[in-house]
Amino acid sequence: MSPLLGIVFEDLAQYKIFAAPLSVIEDLFDVAGITLLALLVFTGLGVVVGFVYSSFVRRNPIKAFIPTLRTFFAGIAEILVLLLRLLPFVVVLFVPLMAASGTLGRFGELNKLGINDRNASQATMMLWILWGVAFLACVWVWPSLRRVRAIAKLSFIEAIRGRILYVFVLFFIPFLFAGWYLDKTPEAVLLNLCGFVNTAITYILMPLVIFMASMSLPNEIQARIVQTVVTKPVRRSEIVLGRSLGYIAVFTLVLAGMGAVSLLYIYGQLDETQRKALWVARRPIFSNRPVPEVIADYEKQGPGAALALRQHPELFSLMFQQNGKWNVVATNVGKEWSYRYHIGGRANHSAHYGFQFDPKLLAHRHDDRLGDVCVLQMEFDVFKMTKGDPTRDEGKDVEKSGVRCIVEVRDRGQESASGQKAPSYSQLLRVNHQRVTEMLVPANIFDNKFVEVVVKCVTESQFVGMARGDLYLLAQDGDFASNFFKGLISIWLKVVLVVCIAVSASTALKGFVTVLFASAVYILGLFWAFMWNVAAGSLGTVKGGGPIESFIRLMTQANQVSPLDETNWLIWALLRVDQGMLALMRFTTFLVPDLSKLDVVQYVAHGVDVPGALILRNVIIVGMYVIPVMVVGYFFLRNRELAA
C-alpha cells in the first residue's frame, strides 16, 4: 500500500475485525521487514535533506556535508541503542499482560515461527525465561537510564505543578448529563456507553496531550533553560526520549483515572439484568486449520499451492465446496463492499470451517436435553433471491428474511487417528440476516482437539454469505473490566504516538506551530482513508482532481466528472502541476499514521474480548512508527543552535 512510514499500517484486511488470530504477529515480522526497508528509504531521504541543509544553511556544501551525514547516522544508531535499552522493560511489562489476557494460551497458532500445539508449552516456557532475562537486563540497564529518567521525571513534575491537569474537571461535566440522552435499549446500551466514554476520553485528553507535549520544549528553548541542560553530559537523544517518556507517564496516570471513572460510570448506568448479560468479554475461538480434504486437494494441485497452505493455514480454514470443488471463494452475489462469499440453498454448496484448539479453553454449559454442551455462534449474511420469507409459516412473529441451514459439527481428530467415520452432531437452524444465532453442541465432540463445522443452506434459491470470522466457538468468558482496560491500551497507544510526534516536532518548530502540526497529524490520522482518497486523484473515490483542478472547476462551474478542455494550453499546464501536487500529497499521506487502525472500542462495546494479538500488533505498529519519528526529533535537536 505505501512506500514509507505508512507501510507499517499495511492493511491486514483478510482479518475481520473480530478475527485476529495470534498469527497476525507473524505477518508483522513481514511488515517489520518492510518497515526496515522504509527506514532505509527514509535514511536516503535524510541524506538528501542533510545535503540541502548543509549546502544552503551552512553555505559550505562539501565540508559540512560529511559531518552532517555522520551526525545523521550516529543519530539513528544513538536512538536505536537507547530504545534497545528500553526493550527489556517492554518485555517485562507485556509478557505478563499477554499471559493475563490469554494470548499465551494460543501460542500454538504461531506456525511460521515453528511453534505448534505440541511445542507450544515449551515456547511459552522459553518466553518466561526470556522474561526473566529481560528482568535481569532491566535491573542492569536501570542505572544507565538515569539521565532519561531525570528528564522524564522533570516533565512529570512540570505537568503536575503546572496545574494544567485541572482541565480534567471538564472531563466530569459530560458524565453528569450524558445519561439523559443516551439510548438505553438493551441492544444499544453498552454500545452507546462505550462510544460515549471513548469519545469523552479521546476528545478531552488528546488536545491536552498535544498542547503539553508541544509547548514544553520550545518554551524551554525560548527561556534558555535548555542551555543549562545541554551543557551537562546529556545526549540530545536522551532529551527527546526522556521528554516523551515523562509525558507518557503523566498521561498514563490521567488515562487510568479517566478509565476508572468511566468504568464506574458504565457500571452505574447498567441495571441489574443488563449487567448480568453485558458485563462480560466473550472470547471467540476462530477457525484456524484447513480440513484434511483441503490439504489433500492442495497437495494434488502442486507444490506452490501446498506451500501457501502450509504458510497460512488459517487463511484456508474456511473453504467452500461447490459441486465437489474446493475453493477459498464461493459465489459472489455482487455485494462488492462485502468480504463474504455466498453459498446457494439446495445447490450442492457447503462451507467448511476447521478448528484445532485445546478443548480446555471452551466454555461449558448445561443443557437439559444434551447434557454438557459448548456454544457455537454464527452471524451470516442472507442474500435473498425471492420476495417473502420462506420460513414464515413457522409462526407469526418470526423475523423476516430468514433461511434454514444445516450446521454439522464433526470430530475430525478421532477420525484422523483411527480412520473411522467421525462422530458428529448436526442441527437445522433458522438463520437471519446478520443476527447472532447460537447452537449448543455436546462437549464430547471437541475432545479430540480438531473439529470441522459444515454449513449448508437448505432453503431453495437463497444465498447465505459467510467469512472466517462469522462462525466461532465460545471460550470462557473474560471479565468486562479487564477488557475495558485493554480498550484503554489502544487509546494509550494513540497518546504515545501523539506525544512522540509532538515532542519530536517541537525540537524544530515553535510551540504553537508544533501544536498545529501535531493536531494536523492527529486529525488527518483519524481520517486517513478519506485523506488518501482525496490525495489519490483518479485512483481514489473523491472526484474532481487536486487543488488546482478543483479550483478551476469551482470557478468555471464545471461538474466534478466532466473532462476539462485540455486544448487550452493554460489548463493543460495547470492540470500537470495539479498532478504533481497530488503526487506530493500522496507522499505526505504516507507520513501520517492511520489511527483508525488502532481503534478497538468496537470489541469492548460489543462485549467481545480484545485479542491479545491485536494489542500486540498495535504495540508493534506504534513502536515502528515512533522510532523514525524520534530519529527525526533527535536530528533536529542535534543540529540546532540552542543558544541562537
Binding residues vs other proteins (CB under 8 A): 56-57, 59, 143-144, 146-147, 149-151, 153-154, 157-158, 161-162, 223-235, 641-644
Using CA atoms, how far residue 415 sits from 410, 421, 529, 543, in Å, is: 9, 6, 47, 57
The minimum distance between CB 206 and other proteins, in angstroms, equals: 24
Residue number with CB closer to other proteins (184 or 224): 224
∠ at Cα 465 (458, 15), nearest 5°?
145
The minimum distance between CB 639 and other proteins, in angstroms, equals: 8
Residue number with CB closer to other proteins (80 or 230): 230
Nearest of 611, 451, 642 to residue 104 by alpha carbon: 611
> If DSSP codes are grouped into helix, strand and coil, which group holds residue 367?
strand
The minimum distance between CB 78 and other proteins, in angstroms, equals: 10
CB 15 within 8 A of CB 24: yes
CB 362 within 8 A of CB 475: yes
Residue number with CB closer to other proteins (244 or 432): 244
Residue number with CB closer to other proteins (237 or 514): 237
Q: How far apart are the first and last CA of the chain?
A: 42
The minimum distance between CB 64 and other proteins, in angstroms, equals: 9
Residue number with CB closer to other proteins (227 or 386): 227
The minimum distance between CB 218 and other proteins, in angstroms, equals: 15
C-alpha cell at 484: 475495558
The H or E element spanning position 521 is: helix 511-526
Residue number with CB closer to other proteins (109 or 238): 238
User: What gap in Å lies between CA 328 and CA 154, rounded to an integer?
Assistant: 56
Residue number with CB closer to other proteins (220 or 415): 220
User: What gap in Å lies between CA 149 and CA 135, rounded to an integer?
Assistant: 18
The minimum distance between CB 67 and other proteins, in angstroms, equals: 9
User: What gap in Å lies between CA 503 and CA 218, rounded to an integer?
Assistant: 9
Radius of gyration of the chain (CA): 28
Residue number with CB closer to other proteins (226 or 451): 226
Residue number with CB closer to other proteins (146 or 364): 146
The minimum distance between CB 76 and other proteins, in angstroms, equals: 17
The minimum distance between CB 507 and other proteins, in angstroms, equals: 15
C-alpha cell at 598: 488502532
Using CA atoms, how far residue 48 sits from 501, 540, 585, in Å, is: 22, 30, 19
Residues 6+ apart with CB under 8 A from 202: 491, 494
CB 459 within 8 A of CB 345: yes
Q: Cell 473439529 sits at which residue? A: 451
The minimum distance between CB 249 and other proteins, in angstroms, equals: 16
Residue 578 sits at φ, ψ, to 5 deg, of -60, -45
Residues 6+ apart with CB under 8 A from 234: 147, 151
